[in-house]
Structure 1
Amino acid sequence: MPACRARVVVLASVNGGVGRSTLATLLGSGLQRLGRAVTVLELDPQNALHLHFGLPLDTPGLGRASLCNRPWDHLAQPGFGGCRVVLFGETDTQQQEDLQRWLKQDPEWLAQHLSHLGLSEQDTVIIDTPAGNNVYLHQALHVADTAVVVALADATSLGALEQMQRLLAPHLARPSALRCHVFVNQLDEGNAFSLDMLDLFQQRLGENGLEVIHRDPLISEALAFGEDPLDSAAASMACDDIHALCQRLDGVLYG
């Protein structure tokens, strides 16, 4: 497999609507603030990440570039905190189908592109993948050092946990074992049901590997205006959570 020297973190979930793209945005900014050179890479044909970074819809992306056999180094856009962003970009249905067929035939597609970006051992790549079992997730896991499973404190996410564990199992068993963490996102501590579901997650996973990010409207409000939530001077439990998670991730990746 082509060498990717950077540390790679993959955000994944079986079900949608859990906040993967928001978390990719925040982790990119948070890790960059710790002195890491971060690239946030979108592997989701929905092409929603441009909204989080306030980038135009027609920003060139890796989808069309890959179909034209062009490199990705010219696609990087400025993100929050000094990080770089590589979007998937606009594609139509036929282009998405063509690219998925290509990826199924070439399991080293992503590894090859990352190896050509000139990344060093001090670089971090955050990859936002589509929900579910798909070719983009498998391409990302193929090069990942760490997988972050993003969930909500609800029955749907808990029920999907076993399926995600099955998807991750071959990568957890490889010689350079994948590290895995579960992030329960948007936790509302004022909701008794959410706290009950969090207890069930903890029973299933134990204390190790389970992290919590609190619900905070300041996050969505800042992103709606194309602003970095971590720039806010206002008190924010979620931002505090993100800073703490970035410190721990940095220790896992580079410790």
Structure 2
Amino acid sequence: MTAVQGNAVDIPTEDGTADAYLVHPVDGRPRPAVLVYQDAFGPRPHLWSMADRIAEAGYTVLVPHVFYRHGRAPLVELPDFIDPSVRPDLFEKLGPLIQSLTSEPAMRDAGAYLNWLADSPFAADGPVAVTGYCMGARLSLLTAGTYPDRVAAAAGFHGGWLATDAPDSPHLLAERITAELYFAHADGDSGMPEEQMRRLEDALTAAGVRHRCEVYPQAPHGFTQADTAAYQKEGDERHWTALLDLLDRTF
């Protein structure tokens, strides 16, 4: 296992400054870069530990705070163990933040994150990989379609609203995507019903995108997040195998 070093960094964007977490192997050599998009709960120790694990596999990893327009993280005080049934007020606070991050500003930000990585001495030249969780899965798919020449692989786990009827639905960018994709859906996820699963699969297949979309049986929405009540060990372990295999094939 490679020793890693993580630090807080600031990323200039067209709309301000995004606080972020950067982690990379301690030897400082340029490594393939991985952009990690947060879930709704945002940057916190568990998400940073996930980034550390990717870095330990030999990558330079950037985790931006996508809600930076509302202030630096944390915007909401989170318990060590997140159980929305105990804290229903969390989504009352987080909901407006999620709704405010529409596709256009999110993809302006994605360009800033990619540019920052391209200038980083810790990131190897060439395209990057992207992965995301919950709302971050949507951002991952959008980034692959918006910046096809800069994204070599993209993954998403327990994402929602990936193939809706909206004019900015991520699946509509399928014909632009050149990356290999892996998306794992939570079984019975209300944000990603079977209709959307089929629509996404059909769009990627029709566009000739290299991809694999899988449904994790009996896995709840949020199954990768060990600091939440939605965590499922089996689904999380399967997620790590799929993600690291994708990165290994890409780089």
TM-score of the superposition, structure 2-length normalised? 0.44
TM-score of the superposition, structure 1-length normalised? 0.43
| Structure of greater relative contact order (alpha carbons < 8 Å, 6+ residues apart) | 1
Higher relative strand content:
2
